[in-house]
Amino acid sequence: MDFWDMKLSREKKRIRRKIRARAKIFGSSERPRLSVFRSNRQLYAQLIDDEAGKTLFGLRSAKFADEYGRAKKADVSRVFGKEFGRLAQEKKITKVVFDRSRFAYHGRIKAFAEGARESGLQF
């Protein structure tokens, strides 16, 4: 097995994990889907109404990373989650369905979710 075969199988595994995580998750206008994407540097979050096929709003953690400088990424993610939850509350959204996508529920994803819960989002 050479490098390219391994890369292809890694890609297939990642897609399978994403499909498996998304199989039972569906957002509606009353309870939108809170989708999270984690890159090496930032976290991206969106509220999505799957019935209408529209993104209600989205946010990325770049501003919070700049403010907190050399803080741990998990700490920045928690603050980002609190701010995201506050903005969702302003738009009259209190209940969401959490979509972690292909990412395991630990580290930055877990910190974001806990921060969002602290701000009043229910999921």
Q: What is the mean pLDDT of residues 41-63?
A: 91
Asked if residue 25 has pLDDT above 80, the reply is: yes
Residue 102: per-residue pLDDT: 85
pTM of the predicted protein model: 0.83
Asked if residue 32 has pLDDT above 90, the reply is: yes
Alpha helices in the chain (DSSP H): 3-22, 62-68, 73-90, 108-118
Asked if residue 95 has pLDDT above 90, the reply is: yes
Q: What is the mean pLDDT of residues 60-72?
A: 78
Is 123 part of any domain?
A: no
Asked if residue 101 has pLDDT above 90, the reply is: no
Residues 87/57, Cβ–Cβ less than 8 Å: yes
Q: Which domain holds residue 114?
A: 3-118
56: domain CATH number is 3.30.420.100
